[in-house]
């Protein structure tokens, strides 16, 4: 792993294992190597030299397989219209960040769409549904609500009364209304 870090390759934040003792000084990180090799690590927060968001959709279009580019361009354009921040994660992000080969024939397009209000939420769900129909591979990912609470966009689009909400602190089944309340909490916090 020291070679990985010495080469300037990233690690990603992950949820801590419940067996790991909670600590403000230690951060739970993950490493994904090509070939679906994953490793959980922990590091002192003071050892973190850089903190970046995942790559923006528009920044990786030219690095994506040619068959994916139209869908990614449409997502990048739709991102501006919908008023969301859209990034990629998974194989495409790891390949873009490291220059190593992560994509394989079964790879999907993984996106994170961060929304700040209900109008943007509705617009991005419509956009993702539309692009999923035309994508040459599975379009997967999550909608990120205020407070970094995320839900699979496909699950949200189905309209279930309760959805699985993911957060760095844990995972819980929550009512849709609980997530929608996050918008009001964000307005009061600013």
**Which amino acids are annotated catalytic?**
108, 110
* Burial state string for 14-37 with b = 16 or more CB within 10 A and e = fewer than 16: bebeeeeeeeeebbbbebbeeeee
d(CA 23, CA 174): 26
Rounded to whole angstroms, the Cα distance separating 130 from 71 reads 10
Q: Are 74 and 131 in contact (CB under 8 A)?
A: yes
Question: Rounded to 10 degrees, what is the CA torsion of 181, 52, 170, 1?
Answer: 170
| Helix/strand/coil for 53 | coil
Q: Are 64 and 72 in contact (CB under 8 A)?
A: yes
β-bridge pairing 149-152 and 26-33: unpaired
């Amino acid at each position: 792993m020291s070679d990985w870090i010495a080469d300037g390759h990233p690690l990603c934040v992950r949820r801590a294992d419940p067996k790991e003792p909670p600590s403000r000084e230690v951060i739970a990180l993950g490493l994904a190597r090509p070939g679906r090799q994953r490793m959980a690590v922990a590091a002192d927060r003071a050892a973190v030299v850089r903190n970046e968001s995942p790559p923006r959709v528009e920044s990786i279009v030219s690095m994506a397989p040619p068959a994916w580019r139209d869908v990614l361009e449409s997502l990048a354009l739709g991102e501006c219209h919908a008023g969301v921040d859209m990034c990629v994660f998974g194989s495409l992000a790891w390949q873009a960040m490291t220059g190593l080969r992560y994509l394989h024939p079964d790879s999907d397009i993984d996106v994170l769409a961060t929304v700040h209000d209900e109008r943007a939420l509705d617009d991005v769900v419509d956009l993702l549904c539309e692009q999923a129909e035309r994508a040459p591979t599975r379009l997967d990912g999550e909608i990120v609500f205020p407070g970094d609470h995320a839900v699979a966009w496909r699950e949200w689009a189905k309209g279930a009364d309760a959805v699985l909400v993911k957060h760095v602190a844990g995972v819980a089944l929550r009512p849709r209304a609980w997530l929608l309340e996050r918008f009001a909490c964000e307005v009061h916090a600013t």
